[in-house]
Amino acid sequence: MIFQIDATDKTPEIDFSPVTGVLKIKGISIPEDSKEFYRGLYMEIEEYLQDPLEWSVVELHLEYFNTSTTLFLRDLMKKYRQANQIGITNVKIKWIFEEDDLDMEDAGLEFKDLFDDIPFELQAVEEFDFR
């Protein structure tokens, strides 16, 4: 079953397919209550990681996010790192940012440093294609 949430002015588009092992989060993430907003996705990820595919990919195409989203992203990456470390799936994280957005590039670099034990790719694009 595919887990999807449409984007709003304050929340990102989310697309997670256990069939492909790919999670995509795109847009702005400044929900009033990040824990509540991301709860369903987190539960889907936990269930998926009980019996994941050989490869799992997390693609983050973020324009802006708040502190509570930072905590969610950290917890999400910890969950994937744990699965990677015990060998149930190979994880790759892709942090995609607009080439002129130094703040998002820096945020990606900080996450890459925190999770230096899993493949973490930073990719600059001229402009996001989802606006």
CA distance 117 to 105: 19
Query: Is residue 130 assigned to a domain?
Result: no
pTM of the model: 0.95
Query: Is residue 96 assigned to a domain?
Result: yes
CA distance 34 to 91: 24
pLDDT band at 131 (very low <50, low <70, confident <90, very high): low
Residue 129: its pLDDT value, please?
A: 86
Query: Is residue 23 assigned to a domain?
Result: yes
Look up the CATH number of the domain holding residue 117: 3.30.750
At 14-56, the pLDDT tens digits run 999 999 999 999 999 999 999 999 999 999 999 999 999 999 9
Residue 112, SS3 per DSSP: helix
Cross-strand bridge partners of residue 96: 61, 123
Class of residue 56 by CB neighbours under 10 A (exposed 0-12, middle 13-18, buried 19+): buried
**Structural domain range at position 39:** 3-125
Q: Give the total number of structural domains in the chain.
A: 1
Looking at the chain, the whole-number percentage of residues with pLDDT higher than 90 is 97
Average pLDDT, the chain: 96
Structure tokens belonging to residue 34 = 């990040």
Query: Is residue 131 assigned to a domain?
Result: no
